[in-house]
C-alpha cells in the first residue's frame, strides 16, 4: 500500500497547474470571440494529438516508427500540453501498464478512487521525477532529456505567443474582436484545462465505466464517449489487451481519430510500421 509520503499533495509546487484552472475564471472579464474559440479548440485538438499519438502511442508503447526529427516534433507538441516531459509521461504510463489496478498502480480508480486517479497523483511530488529505468530506449536522446528537464519552457512560450497573437489581432485585425488577455484565457487556460481533464478521464473513468470485450487482468473498459473526447483513447480495454497496437479502435465502427491521423502521416511517409493487433486476437473476445 502507499505511504503518507507517496500520497502527499504539494499545493505550492502545483501553483502553475492551479493557476491554469483558476485562470479560466477570467473569461468573464476577457469576453468571447470566434477567433478565441477557434484557437481554443484547435490547440486542444493538436495538443491532444501530441499526447495520444506522441506521448502515448509512440513514446510509451512504440506502436510505430518515425524519424528523429518528427520524434522531436511529437515531443514538443506533447510538451505544449503542460503535462510535463515525454520521458516522465511515458515512464509513468509504462508503470501503470506493468501494475494496472494492483496496489503498485500509481493511479487506479478501482483501488484508490476517482479523485486520486484523476488528479491527485499528478499533484503528488513523489511521482514528479522521471524513472529513467522505465524509459532507457528514449532517454538516450539529449533533446528529449532537455524537454523533460525544462518542461515549463514550451508551455510558457505558447502562452506568450498567444498574448502577442491576440494583441496583434486587436491592433491590425480589430474585426476579430479579440485581444491578448482573451487569447491567453481561451487559447491557453481553457484549452489546457479541457486537455488536462479529457486526458485524465482515461485514468479515472476508463477503468470504471464501459464494456469489457477482453478478459484482461485489470478493470480496463471500452467507452465510446471517452474515445470521442480523447481522439480514440477510450477504447481502453482493447488497448490494455494489446498495448503495442497503434490502432486502439479494433473495429471500423470504433472511432479512433488518432489512428486516422497516423495513417495519413504514414501515407506521406512521415511515420511507418504502424502496428496492428494480430488477426487471431479477434477470436479471443468474451
Structural domain total, the chain: 1
Q: Is residue 152 in a domain?
A: yes
pLDDT tens digits, 240-252: 999 999 999 999 9
Q: Is residue 83 in a domain?
A: yes
Name which residue leads in pLDDT, 195 or 7.
195
Q: Is residue 226 in a domain?
A: no
Question: What does the pLDDT read at residue 253?
Answer: 95
87-96, 118-127, 216-225: range with lowest mean pLDDT? 118-127
Q: Is residue 24 in a domain?
A: yes
* Average pLDDT of the residues in 120-130: 91
* Average pLDDT of the residues in 8-26: 92
The pLDDT of residue 274 is above 60 = yes
Q: Is residue 285 in a domain?
A: no
Of 236, 232, 227, nearest to 208 by C-alpha is 236
Q: Is residue 23 in a domain?
A: yes
pLDDT tens digits, 187-242: 999 999 999 999 999 999 999 999 999 999 999 999 999 999 999 999 999 999 99
Residue range of the domain that includes 115: 5-219
pLDDT band, residue 28 (cuts 50/70/90): very high
Q: Is residue 270 in a domain?
A: no
Question: What does the pLDDT read at residue 222?
Answer: 97
pLDDT tens digits, 51-63: 999 999 999 999 9
Q: Is residue 78 in a domain?
A: yes
Amino acid at each position: 500500500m502507499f505511504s503518507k509520503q507517496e500520497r502527499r499533495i504539494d499545493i505550492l509546487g502545483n501553483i502553475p497547474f492551479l493557476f491554469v484552472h483558476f485562470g479560466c475564471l477570467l473569461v468573464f472579464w476577457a469576453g468571447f470571440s470566434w477567433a478565441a474559440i477557434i484557437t481554443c479548440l484547435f490547440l486542444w485538438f493538436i495538443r491532444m494529438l501530441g499526447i495520444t499519438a506522441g506521448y502515448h502511442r509512440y513514446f510509451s508503447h512504440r506502436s510505430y516508427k518515425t524519424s528523429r526529427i518528427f520524434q522531436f516534433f511529437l515531443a514538443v507538441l506533447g510538451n505544449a500540453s503542460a503535462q510535463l516531459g515525454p520521458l516522465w509521461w511515458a515512464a509513468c504510463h509504462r508503470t501503470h501498464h506493468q501494475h494496472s489496478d494492483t496496489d503498485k498502480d500509481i493511479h487506479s480508480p478501482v483501488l484508490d478512487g476517482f479523485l486520486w486517479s484523476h488528479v491527485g497523483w499528478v499533484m503528488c511530488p513523489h511521482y514528479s521525477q522521471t524513472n529513467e529505468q522505465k524509459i532507457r530506449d528514449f532517454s538516450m536522446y539529449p533533446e528529449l532529456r532537455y524537454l523533460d528537464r525544462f518542461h515549463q519552457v514550451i508551455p510558457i512560450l505558447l502562452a506568450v505567443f498567444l498574448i502577442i497573437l491576440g494583441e496583434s489581432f486587436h491592433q491590425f485585425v480589430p474585426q476579430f474582436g479579440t485581444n491578448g488577455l482573451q487569447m491567453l484565457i481561451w487559447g491557453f487556460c481553457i484549452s489546457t484545462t479541457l486537455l488536462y481533464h479529457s486526458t485524465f478521464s482515461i485514468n479515472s473513468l476508463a477503468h470504471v465505466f464501459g464494456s469489457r470485450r477482453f478478459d484482461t487482468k485489470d478493470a480496463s473498459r471500452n467507452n465510446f464517449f471517452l474515445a470521442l473526447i480523447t481522439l480514440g483513447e477510450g477504447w481502453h480495454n482493447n488497448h490494455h489487451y494489446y498495448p503495442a497496437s497503434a490502432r486502439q479502435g479494433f473495429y471500423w465502427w470504433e472511432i479512433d481519430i488518432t489512428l486516422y491521423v497516423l495513417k495519413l502521416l504514414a501515407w506521406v511517409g512521415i511515420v511507418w510500421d504502424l502496428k496492428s493487433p494480430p488477426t487471431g486476437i479477434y477470436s479471443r473476445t468474451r
